[in-house]
C-alpha cells in the first residue's frame, strides 16, 4: 500500500468511532458533521476491506478486524500527537495534554480527589482518563504506550518499567459496628470463625491475607466475592461479614462510626503504593511534571 494515497485523518475518525461506538457522537467528539463521518466510515471499510462496525441495538459494534486495529491505531495517534507537540515547551498552566492513568477504585479513592483538585488550579487544561485494568494488562499497556502512568502495588515489572514509592499502607480487618467481633481483641480463631467478603479484581486482598493463611495451613470462609473495593462498607453494614482492606481506606470508611477496623490477628507486612511508567518517558518534561505532582500529593495521604 502506498501511504501517499491514504488519508491518515481516517485513523482519527476510526479512533473516535472505536471510542464512541456511534456515528453522531463520534462526529461531535472530533468536530465533524455526521454525514462526513459516515462518508469516512465508507472509505475506511474500503481501505481495510472489512465492515469494521456493525449496527446493533443502537450502537456500532466493532468487528474482530476493528478490534485488532484499535490498539495499533491508538498508539499511532498518540505518537503522532507527541511529534507535533514539543515537550520542551511544556507549561502545565496552558497545556491541553491528555494523560491516561491506571488505578483501582481503592487507590483512586485515596489519591484522585487530591490530584483532580490540584489540576483544576495548576493545570486547568490538562485532562486525565482513569482505567482499572488487571496488573498483567497494566504492564502490557505501559509497554505498548497506551498508558502513561499506573498507580498500583508490587507489579512484576521488566527492566523497561520504572517505579517510585508513593505512600506506605498495610491491610486490616473491617466489619460493621454492630458485628459481634467489633469490640475486644480480634483473635485468629474469631477471624476464621466468621464469613468473609473478598475483593477479587486486585491481588492485594489475597496476597496479604489468603497467601499468608495458606502458608500456615489455614483458610478463611469466603462467602462473597466482589470486583470493587467501594462495595465493601455498604455490604458490611448490618451483616456478620468481615473484610480485609487497606488501612488507609479503612480510615475513611470508619469516619461515621458505622464501620470499625481491627489489626489482623497475624503478621502481615506493610507495602508501598507505587507509581509506574515506561523508561521511554524519563526525559519527558510533561511526564516528569505529572510524576512529581502525583508523588508530592500522595505524600499527604
User: In this predicted model, what pLDDT tens digit does every residue of 26-43 receive, in sequence order?
Assistant: 999 888 999 999 999 999
Stronger pLDDT, 91 or 204, i.e. the higher one: 91
- CATH superfamily membership of 171-269: Periplasmic binding protein-like II (3.40.190.10)
| pLDDT tens profile 259-295 | 999 999 998 889 999 999 999 999 889 999 999 999 9
pLDDT-derived band at 240 (thresholds 50, 70, 90) equals: very high
Q: Quote the pTM value.
A: 0.74
The CATH 3.40.190.10 portion of the chain extends over: 90-168+272-298, 171-269
Q: CATH number of the domain at 3-84, please? A: 1.10.10.10
Q: Which of 11-20, 70-79, 271-280 has the lowest mean pLDDT?
A: 70-79
Q: For the chain, first and last CA: distance in Å?
A: 53
Between CA 42 and CA 31 the distance in angstroms is 18
- CATH superfamily membership of 90-168+272-298: Periplasmic binding protein-like II (3.40.190.10)
Distance set, CA 54 to CA 25, 37, 89, 138 (Å): 16, 15, 43, 29
- The residue whose grid cell reads 511529534 is 83
Average pLDDT of the segment spanning 181-190:
92
Number of alpha carbons in the 13 Å side-chain half-sphere of residue 195: 10
| pLDDT tens profile 156-165 | 898 999 999 9
Q: Which of 72-76, 108-112, 151-155, 295-299 has the lowest mean pLDDT?
A: 72-76
Task: Bin 52: left if φ > 0, else alpha if -120 < ψ < 50, else beta.
Answer: left
Specify the pLDDT at position 9.
Answer: 85
Specify the pLDDT at position 192.
Answer: 95
The CATH 1.10.10.10 portion of the chain extends over: 3-84
| Residue 1 pLDDT greater than 80, yes or no | no
pLDDT-derived band at 86 (thresholds 50, 70, 90) equals: low
Distance set, CA 109 to CA 99, 243, 248, 297 (Å): 18, 17, 10, 13
Mean pLDDT of the chain: 89
Specify the pLDDT at position 205.
Answer: 53
Average pLDDT of the segment spanning 204-232:
86
Name, in order, each residue with C-beta under 8 angstroms of 60's C-beta and a sequence gap of 6 or more: 17, 21, 22, 23, 53, 54
Amino acid at each position: 500500500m502506498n501511504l501517499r494515497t491514504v488519508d491518515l485523518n481516517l485513523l482519527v475518525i476510526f479512533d473516535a468511532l472505536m471510542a464512541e461506538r456511534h456515528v453522531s457522537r463520534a462526529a461531535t467528539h472530533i468536530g465533524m458533521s455526521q454525514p462526513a463521518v459516515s462518508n469516512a466510515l465508507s472509505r475506511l471499510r474500503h481501505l481495510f476491506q472489512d465492515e469494521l462496525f456493525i449496527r446493533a441495538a443502537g450502537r456500532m459494534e466493532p468487528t474482530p478486524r476493528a478490534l485488532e486495529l484499535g490498539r495499533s491505531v491508538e498508539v499511532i495517534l498518540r505518537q503522532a500527537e507527541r511529534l507535533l507537540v514539543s515537550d520542551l515547551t511544556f507549561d502545565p498552566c496552558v497545556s491541553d495534554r491528555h494523560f491516561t492513568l491506571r488505578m483501582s477504585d481503592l487507590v483512586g479513592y485515596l489519591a484522585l480527589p487530591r490530584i483532580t483538585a490540584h489540576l483544576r488550579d495548576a493545570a486547568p487544561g490538562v485532562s486525565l482518563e482513569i482505567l482499572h485494568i488487571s496488573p498483567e494488562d497494566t504492564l502490557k499497556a505501559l509497554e505498548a504506550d497506551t498508558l502513561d502512568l499506573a498507580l498500583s502495588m508490587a507489579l512484576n515489572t521488566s527492566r523497561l518499567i520504572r517505579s517510585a514509592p508513593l505512600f506506605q499502607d498495610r491491610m486490616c480487618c473491617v466489619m460493621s459496628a454492630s458485628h459481634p467481633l467489633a469490640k475486644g481483641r480480634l483473635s485468629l480463631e474469631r477471624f476464621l470463625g466468621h464469613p468473609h467478603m473478598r475483593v477479587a479484581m486486585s491481588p492485594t486482598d489475597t496476597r496479604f491475607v489468603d497467601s499468608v493463611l495458606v502458608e500456615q495451613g489455614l483458610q478463611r470462609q469466603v462467602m462473597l466475592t466482589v470486583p470493587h473495593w467501594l462495595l465493601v462498607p455498604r455490604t458490611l453494614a448490618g451483616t456478620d461479614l468481615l473484610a480485609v482492606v487497606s488501612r488507609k481506606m479503612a480510615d475513611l470508611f470508619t469516619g461515621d462510626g458505622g464501620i470499625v477496623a481491627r489489626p489482623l490477628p497475624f503478621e502481615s507486612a506493610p507495602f508501598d503504593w507505587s507509581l509506574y511508567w515506561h523508561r521511554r518517558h524519563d526525559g519527558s518534561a510533561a511526564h516528569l511534571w505529572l510524576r512529581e505532582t502525583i508523588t508530592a500529593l500522595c505524600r499527604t495521604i
